[in-house]
Structure 1
Amino acid sequence: MDQAIEFISNHPFMVAAWVLTLVMFLLFERSKAGKAVTPAQATQLINKEDAVIVDIRPKKEWVTGHITNAKHIPLSDLDRRMDELSKYQQRPVIVVCNLGQAASTATKKLKAAGFVNAVRLSGGMTEWKGQSLPIVK
């Protein structure tokens, strides 16, 4: 620990550059993933703005439980089945995966296809279930 403090005090510009690089990397990665909504915000979007839920998990995860009225389109089929969602382009679309990370890929694809209100569920189904929100099996 003493060596770290000594290094920091001897090289403040190098440490500052490293911290700045780290912060910029984290901000870039966050923006690349797209806007995320919490389960509480997702519930509000569903109830007040008639949001559409798109669950991109594989079928084996889908059958263990999903959000009520969610559309099941696995990520591997999204490009091929995009036309099924075209009628929802003007509504908020919430993309759901298991942990909330794979949804960023789907969200980017939806935004590129003209879905301006596409967001991902932060924490995915793991967070949804963790907050004891309703699921359908």
Structure 2
Amino acid sequence: MATQQLLDFAANHYLLVGGFILVLSLLIQDIISGGSGKDTVDPSGATELINNEEALVIDVRPAADFNKAHIINARNIPMSGFAGQIDSLRKYQERPLILSCNSGAQSASACRILRKAGFSRVFNLRGGILAWQNANFPVSRKRK
């Protein structure tokens, strides 16, 4: 009886059930891939890497967003052409690379691309530029 009710509910609310399954699968994927593990840094950790190990910050947002505000000395390589720019980053392969976007989601994808290309010291800025600004860390508004 309960199984039939569950099936009726799912049939009547397929969008709700589909959304739930999508969110659940994304949550499981994040847990499995270690979404907040050793390969992410918060703004304080990023500052330590920048100051102590000369980390390079790569902002993967579109140029228009980058020009509004970005981490000082960050390099803009938008996600739309990111895979084609990997060779230009080879000279920085031994340095830590911190990838940033608006909230940390797109930069996580860029991190995966770089790791597959053989980069070992790649970090995602947890929370992106929003977390950076919320921590009251300085940004630049200069166009590059």
TM-score if structure 2 supplies the norm length?
0.74
2:115 corresponds in structure 1 to 111
Aligned length: 116
Q: Distance in 1 between matches of 2:84 and 2:31?
A: 31
Q: What is the identity percentage for the equivalent residue pairs of Structure 1 and Structure 2?
A: 34
Other structure's SS at 2:123 match: strand
Change over 3 Å in CA distance of 1:33–1:129 after alignment to 2: same
Alignment partner of 1:91 out of 81, 89, 95: 95
2:73 corresponds in structure 1 to 69
State the superposition RMSD in angstroms.
Answer: 2.2
Alignment partner of 2:133 out of 108, 125, 129: 129
Change over 3 Å in CA distance of 1:113–1:29 after alignment to 2: closer
Aligned partner letter, 2:70: H
Q: State the Cα distance separating 1:83 from its structure 2 match.
A: 1.4
8 Å Cα contact 1:34/1:120 also seen in 2: no
Q: State the Cα distance separating 1:47 from its structure 2 match.
A: 0.2
8 Å Cα contact 1:34/1:104 also seen in 2: no
Other structure's SS at 2:46 match: helix
Q: Distance in 1 between matches of 2:78 and 2:36?
A: 21
Q: Distance in 2 between matches of 1:89 and 1:56?
A: 17
Q: State the Cα distance separating 1:30 from its structure 2 match.
A: 3.1
Other structure's SS at 1:63 match: helix
TM-score if structure 1 supplies the norm length?
0.78
Other structure's SS at 2:71 match: coil
- Residue by residue over 1:94-130, the C-alpha shift from the partner in whole angstroms, topping out at 9 and shown as x without a partner, is 0000001111110000011111000100000000011
- Where in structure 1 are there 5+ consecutive unaligned residues? 1-20
